[in-house]
Chain A
Amino acid sequence: MLKVEGINVYYDAIHAVRQVSLDVDDGEIVTLIGANGAGKSTILRTISGLLRSGAGNIYFMNESIRAMPPHKIVERGLAQVPEGRRIFLRMTVEDNLEMGAYTQKSDGIRGDLERVYTLFPRLKERRKQVAGTLSGGEQQMLAMGRGLMSRPKLLMLDEPSMGLAPILVEQIFSTITEMNREGTTILLVEQNAQMALSIAAKAYVLETGRVAMQGDARELAVNEDVKKAYLGH
């Protein structure tokens, strides 16, 4: 479904992503783990078209999206829930969700809203509220719901558990598996490697901008090097 081939991304003189290739197949949960600054978010931003790769190529559903503007990529069915949630704080919960459906025809939006409200009942209670007044956990739910509103075939999630209490983290991860069960392919970037590996089929371990290891998520979860570096035991 998504094929990234040897991309290179620079921030001014800093070589942030080096020769990264990855594959996401239809229906999978794939995770990208690694320390802070390893280049995980940069990769997602490049796939979404917010940053440009100096080399290589990116294919989504067999079409090259490397030079496509971000809004066209969303239209193709590739959405991203960005790091730090980035919801529109001055707009209401429902307006935020409506913006998520920007690429959709208006007749389908009601049904999609109901789907998101079923997934996150809290959002329904607060739908007329300005998003800036939500708690951190609710904001993350809103960001994820907003991401779903574009009916993505592939949804990329950047650090959805960041800054959340453990109980909320559990909830966010179970929602991710539920979204996946309902047919959305997931590319998950996480610092919480343990959780990410527990729900993913395949994983890539990133170190200073390169793929250091890759493979079956369950195998990586018991790999000694990964355990030492990312799982804290």
Chain B
Amino acid sequence: MLAALLRFNFLGGLYMSFLSHLISGVSLGSIYAIIALGYTMVYGIAKMLNFAHGDVIMVGAYVCFFAVSRYDMPVIPSVLLAVAACTALGVFIERLAYKPLRSAPSLAVLITAIGMSYFLQNSAQLLWTSNPKVFSSVVGNGSVKFFDGRLSISYNVIVTVLACIIIMSVLTWFTGRTKMGKAMRACSEDKDAAQLMGINVNATISMTFAIGSALAAVAGVLLCSVYPTLMPTTGSMPGIKAFTAAVFGGIGSIPGALLGGTLLGVIEIFAKAYISTQLSDAIVFLVLIIVLLVKPAGLLGKQVQEKV
């Protein structure tokens, strides 16, 4: 009787830890998914990889950090301020750096994007120094307990997953049901044809950068709420992971960003928990390579057959 109870507890503990890893994986994955949306939407419409996207996350986190800790602003206005700042920054970057290269070879645009990424990082270093700031979670550090306290889910996790679900639902509605959203899809499919419909392609591209950058700000705040060390390079690794997630799910596809992001987060956390902390990133990228070998367009990548 006692032995059976002990065994149950042991297995129950394993099960609980599995569940809690799964939950933190989904939560981390939600952040990747929100960032990946920015990559995938911009890629879908401008056919370019905006490598500065990760650094927009960092700027968003800094704006929120200073609003809260230096200017004592309440949390919600601070987050909104970060969103506004990043939206403006994203549109500005597109105008300044990418728009003049609209008809340039894609390699030139790629190099410009990498340059923009370093420019943002170095500007942040100049403005805010490279000393790490300690970001305090925007939702507090509490948690909700389940199963007599054997499983606890932090507010961070709950808010992150909720934010991801809300963002995905709104975007799905936007691109599927609204005129502007459909115009965005039309541009991503065929820019010349979209122009012949009377769609202003430049304005649509600007709007896409605005949406992606606003999401980057949200992701930055959520990310730093979980991993509180804020430095000018904070956005770079999550940016690359989210880019990986976008490719993993099928670049250009919004559901793909969600799937790729979530899977990537779960794989990363499981690899950390059950295999090796040091190797977790290597494992993540190994999975990506395997997926791309089997399915080069990514999990939900679109390959529409064209009829003649």
List chain A positions with a Cβ less than 8 A from chain B.
48-50, 69-71, 74-75, 79-80, 82, 86-91, 95, 98-100, 102-103, 106, 132, 134-136, 139, 146, 150, 163
Contact = CB atoms under 8 A, between A and B. Distances in A.
B223 to A, nearest CB: 32
A86 B302 CA distance: 17
Contacts of B96: none
A86 B307 contact: no
Given A95-B182, A102-B183, A70 B189 contact: no
Contacts of A90: 185, 189, 302, 304
A88 B193 contact: yes
Interface residues of B, number: 23
B200 A91 contact: no
A168 B190 CA distance: 26
12 contacts: A50-B195, A69-B200, A71-B195, A74-B197, A79-B196, A87-B193, A88-B186, A88-B190, A91-B189, A99-B199, A132-B305, A132-B307
A106 B190 CA distance: 23
B307 A136 contact: yes
B176 to A, nearest CB: 9
B198 interface: yes
Given A132-B304, A139-B307, A91 B197 contact: no
Residue among B196, B198, B302 facing the most chain A CB atoms (10 A cut-off): B196
Interface of B: 179, 182-183, 185-186, 189-190, 192-201, 302, 304-308
Contact of A132 (B186, B198, B306): B306
Contacts of A82: 192-193, 196
Ranked nearest first, the 9 interchain pairs of A and B with the lowest CB-CB distance are A74-B198, A103-B198, A70-B195, A86-B193, A71-B200, A102-B198, A71-B198, A102-B197, A99-B197
Given A86-B193, A90-B189, A90-B302, A71 B199 contact: yes
Contacts of A106: 179
Nearest to A73: B198
A90 B185 CA distance: 9
Nearest to A133: B307
Contacts of A98: 179, 182
